[in-house]
Copies of this chain bind each other. A is one copy, B any other.
Amino acid sequence: MDEFEIIRRFFTRTAGNPGVIVGVGDDGAILRPDPGRDLISVLDTLVAGVHFPEVFSPDDIGYRAVAVNVSDIAAMGGRPRWMTLGLTLHEVDARWLDGFASGLFVAASEYGVDLVGGDMTHGSEVVVSVQITGDIEAGKALKRGGAMPGHGIYVSGTPGDAAAGLALLQSNAPRSEAADQLVWRFRRPLARVELGQSLCGSASAAIDVSDGLFTDLEKLLAASGVAGAIEVDNLPLSSELTELMDRDDAIRFALSGGDDYELCFTGPDEKMAEVALRSGVKVTRIGEIGEGHGLACIRGGKHYHYDDTGYRHFS
């Protein structure tokens, strides 16, 4: 199979979205944006050969490559639309390609994204770059830089689960229903597209939790030029997480664990309460914006020492 056969066999499927005038197969894709809307362009790379040599199945990689990009668009309140794929392979393995394409197109279909073009190259390991273009009503995109003192700090879902799932995969921990659930949260990250859209016009700032809640919230605070304080006892911990480890470890996973792709956002409390009701997604107030800079963690009224460089293994 050469490059062109691979593209024909595995990567020529369309979600049939309007706006795709020409998709895979010409020099480039021709796309027709809806009038009055801004575009949101994101790109994320997965180095499968290095990052997850064993625990990742090909369809996990395909699914994730789409979901992590959609999550960035969700964090801005956008609607994902069109995707291009840069795929570097070490060898042409039809079974691998079949699994990868399957995961990719499942995610593409779930999020309503069309694969419209890309490139395939040979290299010494699997590298997947996905670029997605989304759109949003002009001028309405959510940014990281709008948080203001007095606003609440919120997070969706139960952060820490995915990182715990990865740690489980990498350990010899016994299998259980709770463990399987956490592993699944890692394998199939859920991008919060509807929640992001419902935050537009209400939230003051938003970011998706890809590197870890603490780290990503720090970025939001720095972009906004404000300080923040989290009450760690308010962190929404999943029952699976607390079933499998003690509370201190669970808190550390919730603060440091990447790969959840939950949204962390800020805004006036009354507006955020409305959004939480409307969205149907679990949303938790975990802290508050203040003046100054930096992110503090509080527990029982006292400063809680959080060290991001510490614990990562599963016990």
Contacts and interface: CB of A to CB of B under 8 A. Distances in A.
Contact of A119 (B35, B129, B138, B206): B129
Contact of A223 (B21, B26, B87, B125): B26
A39 B49 contact: no
B33 A33 contact: yes
**Which bracket fits the contact residues of A?**
35 or more
A55 interface: no
Given A43-B117, A47-B122, A134 B28 contact: yes
Q: What copy number does this chain have within its complex? A: 2
Given A28-B73, A30-B76, A122-B50, A86 B129 contact: yes
Contacts of A30: 38-40, 76, 136, 141, 143
Interface in A259-301: none
Interface string A199-220: 0000000111000000000000
Given A43-B85, A50-B123, A88-B127, 11 more contacts: A26-B145, A28-B75, A28-B78, A33-B39, A35-B35, A43-B84, A43-B86, A43-B129, A45-B86, A47-B88, A121-B127
